[in-house]
Amino acid sequence: MTLAGKSTHVNNAPGRTASPTPGVSPQRVLPDTRAMPDDWVHLGRLWTNGDPYLAVDAAVRHLWLGFSEDEYFDRIVDLGPEETGISLGEHTAAVVGADGVVRDDSWMEVFESPEGSIAIIQASGDDYRKTLTAALRYPGDSDDPGTTIHVRSGELAVFSAACDGAGEYSMTLRPALPGRAPAEHGAPARAADTGLLVKTRSTRYRVEARSYTELDGASCFARWLLVPEQPAP
């Protein structure tokens, strides 16, 4: 992504795009002991050039100055994949994506479950929609537990950490539009990249992350889950 002539793309940013450890087999499908539900709804997609996204209460997104104050380079680039949260003043944002082992320049698909969980999936496979389905169904027992975020405004903003959260150097945020998941990964949009605004059904979410996971010889994924812990009033 480039804003005002300033490139924010970092190839293989430390930690978040590390290759699998030599001599250690990538994570593979385990017995389905806590499978995800089948009736997830696709809310939208986010394009990344390798930069992670933030998911934060929309009311405080203006506190993030990823571009204008270089917070992206100072606070995000060196985060490891196990670090799923970052402070915005007294608030916390979830850090979701991107896994450069799955893909570098890539779409990330956003879904919501009937119970109000939000999933961000980065996938690669010959059958893209099938890979997305497998990623949503993949058991969550061994996901890395992460931070907790609060969304008291009832709206979650999801945007590139390389941008500001609001103002001149922010990205446009589009309302989530429920629909069917795309059949193919496809090329990036010709228009400027956009983020998402998601109506939430909880005021508190637990973040769970799963880095590069191999499904078979032709497909893999990474997944970030926002699991509701407290219903909205």
The CA distances from residue 21 to 50, 140, 145, 201, 212, in Å, are: 20, 22, 21, 38, 11
H or E element, residue 214: strand 202-216
**What share of the chain in percent tops pLDDT 90?**
72
Residues 6+ away with beta carbon under 8 Å from 46: 53, 97, 107, 108, 110, 120, 158, 160, 193, 194, 195, 196
List all residues 6 or more positions away from 11 whose beta carbon is below 8 Å from its beta carbon: 17, 50, 100, 104
Q: Is the pLDDT of residue 34 over 80?
A: no
- Model confidence over 155-178: pLDDT tens digits? 999 999 999 999 999 999 999 999
When pLDDT is cut at 50, 70 and 90, the band that residue 199 belongs to is very high
- pLDDT for 81-123, tens place per residue? 889 999 999 999 999 989 999 998 999 999 999 999 999 999 9
Tokens of 45: 């997609």
Interatomic CA distance for residues 118 and 124, integer angstroms: 20
